Structure formats: structure tokens, C-alpha cells
């Protein structure tokens, strides 16, 4: 190869090398910036706690299922849980069927012959003088 051609190739390669060095420097700076932002959380910056990324510990703990032979609990209501519900009012004094007199949206007084939606509601009415039990002494 002629000497001029070799010098031209070397100059081209040096340009490429300088460009690659610039790219490497920019990437190293980006890596450092990302390392710093990765280590920031709500305790050492102005970020809110909801933005924290929870890091998994490197020391894996032995799962509870392996420690004890009990199966892992599923989320939600557990089968051994005792339900606590209201008992209701005991007896029903009366039923009332309430029908609207006019539509609350358009004011129309005509309704469809069949109900589209039926709602049931329990109402407790407090009486003025509740029944009191009296003990009989003999």
C-alpha cells in the first residue's frame, strides 16, 4: 500500500477513536448520574415516600412454609374466622310497598307496568315508650 493511503487510514481511525472516546465519556457520566439517582429515596432527598423503590434484600430468608409445616395463608377472609353480623329486628310488623308519584328526572307521572328495579330496605322505628319488663315479687 502506498504511504499516503496508510496515513489516510490512520487519520480516519483516529477520528473514529476520538468519537468513540466522547461516546464512552458521555455514557460513563450517564451511568454515574443514574447510580446517584438510584440511591436517592425519601430519606435522603425531596422525593415523596410513595416514589421509593423497595429493594429486595440479598440475604434470602427461609420461607415460612419451610420453617413450619403450616400452609401459607391466602389473602381475604380465613376459614376459621367467626362471622359477626347484625341479628336484625326479630319480627316484622308490616311491609310497605312504596311507589313514586312522579319521575324525579323528567316529572312524568306515567310509569312502565313492570318495575325495572326493586329495592328492599329495613327500617327500625323507635317507639315513644319502650316495653319495660317488671320483676314480680312474691
- 10 Å Cβ neighbour count for 133? 4
Q: What is the pLDDT of residue 138?
A: 46
Whole-prediction pTM: 0.33
**pLDDT for residue 133:** 56
Burial 90-107 (b: 16+ CB within 10 A, else e): eeeeeeeeeeeeeeeeee
Judge whether residue 14 has pLDDT over 70: yes
Amino acid at each position: 500500500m502506498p504511504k499516503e493511503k496508510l496515513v489516510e487510514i490512520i487519520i480516519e481511525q483516529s477520528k473514529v477513536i476520538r468519537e468513540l472516546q466522547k461516546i464512552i465519556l458521555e455514557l460513563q457520566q450517564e451511568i454515574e448520574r443514574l447510580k446517584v439517582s438510584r440511591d436517592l429515596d425519601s430519606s435522603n432527598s425531596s422525593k415523596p415516600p410513595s416514589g421509593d423503590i423497595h429493594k429486595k434484600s440479598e440475604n434470602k430468608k427461609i420461607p415460612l412454609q419451610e420453617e413450619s409445616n403450616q400452609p401459607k395463608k391466602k389473602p381475604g377472609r380465613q376459614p376459621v374466622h367467626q362471622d359477626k353480623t347484625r341479628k336484625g329486628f326479630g319480627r316484622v310488623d308490616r311491609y310497605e310497598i312504596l311507589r313514586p308519584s312522579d319521575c324525579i328526572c323528567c316529572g312524568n307521572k306515567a310509569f312502565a307496568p313492570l318495575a325495572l328495579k326493586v329495592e328492599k330496605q329495613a327500617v327500625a322505628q323507635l317507639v315513644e315508650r319502650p316495653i319495660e319488663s317488671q320483676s314480680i315479687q312474691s
